[in-house]
Amino acid sequence: MDNKSGKYDDIIHMDRPVSKHHMPMPIENRAAQFAPFAALTGYEEAIAETARLNELKFEQEDKGEKYFD
């Protein structure tokens, strides 16, 4: 795909800008910005509790008992 009429053809091969005021961030620190985080805190616990309650419900139904929420 060698299209010469692309939207960014005039800037695609330019050097990236380098700040005159800030030193580059070390790679170790830069990688930490993208470390995973817990966006849904408590999600795993909620899933585990739902699974536990469902198992309890099915066990009671198998025994012929009524399950109450």
3-class DSSP state for residue 44? Answer: helix
Domain presence at residue 15? no
In the chain, what are the helix, strand and coil shares in percent, each to the nearest 5? Answer: 40, 0, 60
The number of folded domains in the chain is: 1
pLDDT at 37 over 80: no
Domain presence at residue 57? yes
pLDDT at 14 over 70: yes
Q: Which pLDDT band, with edges at 50, 70 and 90, does 69 fall under?
A: low
User: What pLDDT was estimated at residue 67?
Assistant: 64
User: What pLDDT was estimated at residue 2?
Assistant: 56
Domain presence at residue 4? no
Domain presence at residue 3? no
Which runs of consecutive H residues, i.e. helices, occur in 1-69?
A: 27-32, 43-62
The mean per-residue pLDDT over the stretch 43-61 comes to 91
Identify the residue with better confidence: 61 or 33: 61
Range of the domain at 49: 37-69
Q: How many angstroms separate the CA atoms of 58 and 63, rounded?
A: 9
Domain presence at residue 23? no
Is the pTM higher than 0.85? The answer reads: no
Domain presence at residue 51? yes
